[in-house]
A and B are shown apart, each in its own frame.
Chain A
Amino acid sequence: MATIYFNHKTLRHFVSCHSSQQAIKKVVSVVQSCLSCLILCCLLGGCAQQDEFESDQVGNFEALWTIMDEHYSFFDYKQVDWNEVHSRYRTRVSNEMTDRELFDICGDMLKELRDGHTNLIASHDVSRYWIWEQWPVNYDERLINEHYLNFDYKMASGITYQILPQNFGYMHYSSFSSVIGEGNLDLILSYLSTADGLIIDVRDNGGGYLTNVEKLVSRFIEQKTLAGYICHKTGKGHNDLSEPYAYYFEPTRNHIHYLKPVVVLANRGAFSASNNFVSIMKSLGNVTVVGDTTGGGCGLPFTSELPNGWRVRFSSCPIMDPQGRLTEFGVAPDVRVDMDRNDPTHDAILDAAISILTQKTDITTNNNNNH
C-alpha cells in the first residue's frame, strides 16, 4: 500500500508541474521499467534449469544412481549399501564407452537390488531381475486345457472358467492388467455358483492394476476387511517412509458374491498385483493357498527418466499384507506342492486343490448332517 500511496502523490505532482514533453519522457520511463521487469522475469524463468546431470555416459550413470538413491524404498530391508554399489560400478563407467556398454553396467547395478519391479528401459533392451524364470514353472496351460477342461471353457474379462467334473469351479486369471467388468464377474460367478467350491488360479499372472485386485477380492468377503498397509517415501533419505496406512476392502454391493470354500493356486510367476491378491486372499478364513511361493514384488513401482531418455522403473511405495509384513520376496502357500515334470497329464497343484476342496466340502456336508 505504501508504494501505491507514493505513486499516487508522485503522479499528481507530474500532472500538475511538468510539461507534456516531460510527461511523455516519464511515460517512456515507466514503460521501460515495466519492460525491464518483464524481461527480468523471462530471464529468471529461462535460467531456472532443474536438470543436474550432463547427458554424457558418466552423467547418465550418476543420474540413475541418484534417482535410485533418492526414491528406492527397500535399501534397508534388503540390506543394500548403495554407496558401496556406487563406488564399485562408477569405476567401470567412462564417457568413451558405447550406450550398450553403459546400459549393461547400469543393468548390472540395478540387479544388486534383487527387485523384479526394477528395470532400465532403453530402445534396444530392458534390464530385469526376473528370478522367477529360474524357479520351477509349476504351471502348464495346455495341460489344464487338455486334461482337465477338455478344451471346453468359457472366457470373459481375461478370465477362463469352467466347472470341473468334481463339481468345483475353476477360473484362471492370466493378468491383472485385463480389466474386469463387474457385469462380467457377475456372470462368471453366477455360472460357477452351483459348484461346491472354487479354484482361483493366478499362476503366471505377472500383475497389473491393483484396482482389479480390489474388484476380485470384494466378491469373496462379507464385511469390510483389512487388506493391508501402504506407505510411501516422504523424503530423499533411505528411511524417510510414512507411517503405514491401513486400507480396507468392502464387499461389492448389489453384486454376486462367492462364499463357499476357495483355493488359490500360486507359483513363482505370480508377481506384483498377483502377489498382493494372494496375500489378501490368504488372510480370509475360507481360502487356502496351494502351490509354490509367489514371486513377490510388493513395492508399487514408479518411473523416472535419465537425461538420455532411458526410463527407470523402481519400487517406490511398499505395500504390506494384512499382518503388516512385507511380501517383497513372496507369499508362502498354505500347502506347498510342486508339479511333476515327468507327468505330462497331471497338474499336481490342481489335483491338491481338488483334494482340499473335496475334504472341505465333505466336512461341511458331515457337519450339516450331524446338525
Chain B
Amino acid sequence: MTLRVLVILYCLLISVGAAGQENVSMFTVDAGYASVHDSYLTPITYGGTDLALGYEAMRSMKRYSDKWLWQLQVGADYNYVENDAKNNQLHKLMGDITFDMQRQWRGAIAQRVNLSVGPMTQLRAGIIYDEVNSNNPVSVRAHWNVGVTGMATFDTRMWRIPVTLRYQAQLPALGVFFAPEYDESYYEIYLGNRKNLAHLGWWGNRFDMTNYVGADLHLGKTTLRVGYRARLEHWNVNYLKVHDVGHSLVLGINL
C-alpha cells in the first residue's frame, strides 16, 4: 500500500515537473554555526559546527497556467557542538524531506519580481548523541508537520551575470512529534512502555522556522548558489526543553 502511494506521488511529481517551465535542480552544502540545547541530555547549551548536504527541486506547474509551483527539498545535517567548558561534545545527525506547493504571482510588484506562498509539509528525524551520559546518552528527534512557506524572487544582473535573488521562509504550524516523558529512559521504552510518546505540535508548545536568503548566479547552463540559511527548532513539552539554532552559509550548484 505504502509503495503504491509512493509510486503515485512519484508519477505525479514527474508529470507536473515535465510540464513546468522553470527547472531548479540544485545540490547544496551548508556550513556554519549551530547551538543545541536539549534538556533531556544536559541543561547546558552547546555550540559548534553546522554542516549539511541538501538537494532541492522546484518546478513551475504549467498545467495550472504557471500559477502554481512545487518544491521538494531533501537534506541531512550534522552538528558537532561543544560545551563552554570544552570537555564534552554532542553529535547531532538529522535528515529531512520537505514538500510544498505555492501559488505564485509573476511580476507582482515589478516585472522581474515573483512572489509565492503555499502549504508545506515536512518530515524530519534524527538523534543527538552525548559521548559520556550513562542511561540518557541519546535524544531521539522526530516530527512531521504541516505549515506555510513563502518566497520572493527578483531577477536582475550583477556584473553582467544573470542573477536570481531569493528569500524564502518556511513556517510549520501543526504536526506530530516524538518526545519521551521528563526522565523516561529509552530502556523503559524498549521494555514496552510506549505511552505518551507522540505529541501534537502547535505554536503553543513548538515553533520551527527556516529562513533562507541567497542568490543563484546563472553562468550559461550552470547555476551557482550562494546564500544564508537560519534554522530554528524550539519545543517545550513534559518539562523538557529543546532550542536549536543554526546559521549557515549555503553554496550550491545545479547538476
Seen from chain A, the residues whose Cβ lies within 8 Å of a Cβ on chain B are 4, 7-8, 11-12, 14-15, 20, 23-24, 26-27, 30-31, 34-35, 37-38, 41-42, 44-46, 48-52, 55, 63, 67, 71, 73, 123, 210, 230, 232-236, 240, 242, 245, 247, 300-305, 307-309, 311, 313, 316-317
Given known contacts A31-B154, A313-B134, A50 and B191 CB-to-CB distance under 8 angstroms? no
Shortest CB-to-CB span from A77 to chain B, Å, is 16
Contacts of B205 in A (CB 8 A): none
Given known contacts A27-B113, A317-B188, A41 and B209 CB-to-CB distance under 8 angstroms? yes
Shortest CB-to-CB span from A140 to chain B, Å, is 30
Q: Is the CB of B234 within 8 A of A48?
A: yes
Q: Which residue of the partner chain, among B85, B117, B130, B211, contacts A307 with CB atoms under 8 Å? A: B85
Interface assignment of B109: CB less than 8 Å from any CB of chain A: yes
Q: Is the CB of A309 within 8 A of B88?
A: yes
The 4 A-B pairs at the shortest CB distance, nearest first, are namely A309-B85, A45-B245, A233-B183, A11-B108
Q: Which residue of the partner chain, among B39, B111, B182, contacts A240 with CB atoms under 8 Å? A: B182
Contacts of A233 in B (CB 8 A): 181-183
Given known contacts A20-B110, A34-B152, A242 and B43 CB-to-CB distance under 8 angstroms? no
Q: Give the docked Cα–Cα distance between A301 and B183 (Å).
A: 10
Contacts of A67 in B (CB 8 A): 43
Contacts of A317 in B (CB 8 A): 135, 183-185, 187-188
Given known contacts A34-B167, A302-B135, A307 and B44 CB-to-CB distance under 8 angstroms? yes
Q: A8: nearest residue on chain B (CB-CB)?
A: B105
Q: Which of B125-159 contact A (CB under 8 A)?
A: 130, 132-136, 152, 154
Given known contacts A42-B247, A305-B83, A236 and B239 CB-to-CB distance under 8 angstroms? yes
27 examples of A-B residue contacts, CB within 8 angstroms: A7-B105, A11-B105, A11-B115, A14-B108, A15-B108, A20-B111, A27-B109, A30-B152, A31-B167, A34-B169, A38-B169, A38-B213, A41-B232, A42-B211, A50-B243, A63-B43, A210-B187, A230-B188, A230-B191, A232-B184, A232-B185, A234-B183, A245-B188, A247-B193, A300-B187, A302-B183, A316-B183
Seen from chain B, the residues whose Cβ lies within 8 Å of a Cβ on chain A are 35, 37, 39, 42-45, 83-88, 103, 105, 107-111, 113, 115, 117, 130, 132-136, 152, 154, 165, 167, 169, 181-185, 187-188, 191-193, 209, 211, 213, 230, 232, 234, 238-239, 241, 243, 245, 247
Q: Is the CB of A309 within 8 A of B230?
A: no
Contacts of B234 in A (CB 8 A): 48
Q: Give the docked Cα–Cα distance between A302 and B135 (Å).
A: 5
Shortest CB-to-CB span from B128 to chain A, Å, is 14
* A to B contact number (C-beta, < 8 Å): 164
Q: Is the CB of B193 within 8 A of A245?
A: yes
Shortest CB-to-CB span from B42 to chain A, Å, is 4
Q: Give the docked Cα–Cα distance between A64 and B48 (Å).
A: 25
Q: Is the CB of B184 within 8 A of A242?
A: yes
Q: Give the docked Cα–Cα distance between A271 and B92 (Å).
A: 33
Q: Is the CB of A247 within 8 A of B181?
A: no
Contacts of B241 in A (CB 8 A): 50
Count chain A CB atoms within 10 A of each CB in B86, B87, B110, B183 and give the residue with the most.
B183
Shortest CB-to-CB span from B222 to chain A, Å, is 26
Q: Is the CB of A247 within 8 A of B167?
A: no
Q: Is the CB of B152 within 8 A of A300?
A: no
Contacts of B44 in A (CB 8 A): 51, 305, 307
Shortest CB-to-CB span from B54 to chain A, Å, is 19
Q: Which residue of the partner chain, among A4, A55, A71, A210, contacts B103 with CB atoms under 8 Å? A: A4
Q: Give the docked Cα–Cα distance between A42 and B33 (Å).
A: 12
Q: B184: nearest residue on chain A (CB-CB)?
A: A232
Q: Give the docked Cα–Cα distance between A20 and B165 (Å).
A: 19
Q: Give the docked Cα–Cα distance between A301 and B133 (Å).
A: 9
Given A37-B211, A303-B133, 20 extra CB contacts under 8 A: A8-B105, A23-B109, A41-B209, A41-B232, A42-B245, A50-B37, A50-B243, A123-B87, A210-B187, A230-B188, A232-B182, A232-B185, A233-B182, A233-B183, A235-B239, A247-B193, A302-B135, A305-B43, A308-B85, A317-B185
